[in-house]
Structure 1
Amino acid sequence: MAISLVSLYPVRRNAVRLGLVAEPVGHSTHTRATPLGGGIGIWLGIMIPMILGTAVVLLSDRIPMVADALPTSIAGYFDGISMRLTQLWWLLGSATVLFVLGIWDDRRGAPVVLRLGVEFAVAAFVVYYLDFGFTAFIGAAWLTKLLSVVWIVAVINSFNMLDNMDALSGGVAAIIATAMAAVMLTTPSPGSTEPQLFVAGLLLSVAGSLLGFLWHNRPPAKIFMGDGGSYLVGFLIAVSMLMATFASPPRPHAVLAPLCVMAIPMYDMATVLWIRIREGRSVFVGDRSHFSHRLVDLGLSRTQAVLTIHLVTATCGLAALLLVHVSVLQAVAVLGIVACMLLLVVILESTGWQKQSND
């Protein structure tokens, strides 16, 4: 959090020189030129602690006094961390590829085909080479791998599309990362009683970086996340959910936890695409048909719309936390809560649709 917060001050000052400025044109709702490099602070907030942590673990193998200087409760995990360092840095390297793609897109505008091509390529690498994928209790491995690739690309773009108001995408992502970290800390790894610290640590790093960014992105925003930030955050959250084990086979419903916590970003993406297709417009051209914009059209202020989305996301996150610890019958009730929240949103929005049809 501290690294992200501090590093974004020089990014803000040098945004024009870096070519990372969003002008108030097109479908944009802001009224002044605003820096776009929030993703740089988020990337640094994740990468610098990971580099330092990796250095400590590697040094402890060569210099015993390094491990001896740390509490046993920490140093006891170094062997396990060492085994997964290669996997971690392949993952962070893949995230960096998407971050660089996003920064290029922010500066010059990347073609849609190139953006999607790189997203699918990186997602396929993570699923087929690093072997991360859904634990969906589906017998066909090819299907779960394909769904995993689609999941990664969908989550990346859902956060990118959600980045349309101050503190919206960053706040939603921080809530989701925190909720899923809580799930990992309360769900043991297979065959042990230990929490899933590897995935939880990655998610908490993402959440901390986002909190540092949100200091600058709170209304009125001094800097935007940009595509660099949304691609990075969306990818790491999506893959973290694939790396996680949500439950043993007696609780197969727990695998629905990612869908619960991602309900609002996915709802926003699905409805925006549906509106654009229905109106005969390109699904790749931005507009003001997002969930947040529709709430504003109903009479909410921009701040109220963002807070509403944050609260609904937090409710879905709490539901996901419950889902991994309850029986099948109780899970039906938890999923019912999420369904009711989405139905409430649809009913609320139907008022706006009726007004538009009457007009």
Structure 2
Amino acid sequence: MNIFPSLLLASGGLSFVLVASIRQYLSQYLLDVPNHRSSHTQPTPRGGGLGFVIAFALVSAMLAWLDWQTFTASNALFIWAALIPLIIVGFFDDRGDVPARIRYLVQLSSAGIAIAAFSPFPQPWLAPLGMVGAMLAIALTMIGMTALINFYNFMDGLDGLVAGVSFVQFTYLAIEYNQPMLALLAISLLGFLWWNWSPAKIFMGDVGSTVLGAMIAISLLNQSGGAVQAWSSLAITLPLIADAIYTLIRRVIRKENIFQPHRTHLYQRLQQSGWNHAQVASTYILVTLAIALNLHFLQEFGAWLSLSEVVCAIALGERYLSHQQGIKMRTVIYSSVRNLIMGTRAG
């Protein structure tokens, strides 16, 4: 399609301009003021995800109109039917807290629309159960999709992290499975990343992160290669969801309140240990790129290889953090002893 490169340019350019405009407006009305849980130190506007979401919506609508037959525009309609409720709730949540119960009900409704359009995530072991198995597959897919939406939201706490990782993920899925809408979203994220890379001039907010989580889930549902392909493709989400799941398990083991806000994700702890935002985000982006290459060249084996690599990366991260904590403790002890000795001598 000769027009497609132009649409890609339009998606990135429009996103860049819209995010810049939104940043100017939100700088006066919607600032994220740093608190004890923040990774940033300067008041920064949030809600910038609305810029790349609008750009993606306009250009994907143009793609559907220009390529009505081969693009299957009905897919685009279903996708936006699932995304629009998330966008509305995310926008209002960025302006002020929306009750968690309402947010989750909206996420469930969006998951239901996506499942109705593209079928549940393949779970062939449930097939022998007949209707009961089909209902279980729908329920588990809804839980999984809402989990992805929330995990992407939880991981959006560092400059360029979620946007950068998502760019690689959507680029891989667009090329590997010929999903042109995902290519438009990937390029629109580049327009946003210009403003979101460290030091971030704007944050995407819930309006952006929930849409990214939902689009990843929808792209995994919208495949025709069967269960093996779908489950293998799930590996592309590992850099973000593995951190989120690992942190959740770690907090449960430590008997912490998992519903209480915290700063104990692996990416947050790496930043607290002395890494800057760009170093952490670049590391997660490179891991995502490595997984994409594994999947492209090794398919199913690449998925298992990616899982093992991510587990090893988490273990190495924990070892590094423990080492850094030991150095800090020894430094504190040394300083305390030194001050005590100096004080004794002075006395």
Counterpart Cα distance in 2 of 1:344 and 1:54? 41
Paired position in structure 1 for 2:262: 287
Paired position in structure 2 for 1:349: 318
Counterpart Cα distance in 2 of 1:292 and 1:130? 35
Which one has a bigger Cα radius of gyration? 2
Paired position in structure 2 for 1:189: none
| Distance 1:216-1:16 versus aligned 2 partners, 3 A rule | closer
Could you tell me the percent identity over the aligned residues?
26
Counterpart Cα distance in 2 of 1:333 and 1:124? 30
Paired position in structure 2 for 1:151: 144
Paired position in structure 2 for 1:167: 160
SS of match in other structure, 2:124: coil
Paired position in structure 1 for 2:99: 111
- Which one of the candidate residues 32, 37, 47 is aligned to 1:22? 32
* Deviations 1:71-104, CA, capped at 9 Å, x for gaps: xxxxxxx4233xx323321321320210111111
Pairing of 1:293-332 with structure 2 (within 5 A): 293-324=268-299, 331-332=300-301
Counterpart Cα distance in 2 of 1:307 and 1:230? 18
Paired position in structure 1 for 2:8: none
Counterpart Cα distance in 2 of 1:50 and 1:302? 31
Pairing of 1:54-73 with structure 2 (within 5 A): 54-56=64-66
CA contact (8 A) 1:216 1:223 kept: yes
* Deviations 1:36-55, CA, capped at 9 Å, x for gaps: 12111111121111232344
Paired position in structure 2 for 1:32: 42
| Distance 1:8-1:337 versus aligned 2 partners, 3 A rule | closer
Q: TM-score if structure 2 supplies the norm length?
A: 0.82
Counterpart Cα distance in 2 of 1:121 and 1:55? 27
Paired position in structure 2 for 1:49: 59
CA contact (8 A) 1:36 1:224 kept: yes
RMSD value, Cα: 2.2
Instruction: After TM superposition, give the deviation of residue 334 of structure 1 in Å.
Output: 5.4
Counterpart Cα distance in 1 of 2:35 and 2:286? 30
SS of match in other structure, 1:282: coil
Paired position in structure 1 for 2:7: none
Paired position in structure 2 for 1:201: 180
Counterpart Cα distance in 1 of 2:87 and 2:241? 21
Gaps of 5+ in 2: 1-11, 128-132, 330-347
* Deviations 1:307-342, CA, capped at 9 Å, x for gaps: 111111111122222344xxxxxx446523441342
* Deviations 1:252-283, CA, capped at 9 Å, x for gaps: 53332232101111111112222333344332
Instruction: After TM superposition, give the deviation of residue 162 of structure 1 in Å.
Output: 1.1
Counterpart Cα distance in 1 of 2:229 and 2:47? 37
CA contact (8 A) 2:232 2:303 kept: no
Paired position in structure 2 for 1:130: 117
SS of match in other structure, 1:130: helix
Q: Give the paired residue count.
A: 311
Is 1:80 aligned with 2:105?
Answer: no
Instruction: After TM superposition, give the deviation of residue 145 of structure 1 in Å.
Output: 1.9
Pairing of 1:237-252 with structure 2 (within 5 A): 237-247=216-226
| Distance 1:33-1:296 versus aligned 2 partners, 3 A rule | closer
Counterpart Cα distance in 2 of 1:92 and 1:333? 32
Is 1:180 aligned with 2:173?
Answer: yes
CA contact (8 A) 1:254 1:323 kept: no
CA contact (8 A) 1:101 1:115 kept: yes
CA contact (8 A) 1:45 1:208 kept: no
CA contact (8 A) 1:12 1:223 kept: yes
Paired position in structure 1 for 2:108: 120
Instruction: After TM superposition, give the deviation of residue 354 of structure 1 in Å.
Output: 6.3
SS of match in other structure, 1:262: helix
Counterpart Cα distance in 2 of 1:4 and 1:210? 7
SS of match in other structure, 2:35: coil
Q: TM-score if structure 1 supplies the norm length?
A: 0.80
- Aligned partner of 1:286: which letter? P
SS of match in other structure, 1:339: helix
Instruction: After TM superposition, give the deviation of residue 22 of structure 1 in Å.
Output: 0.8
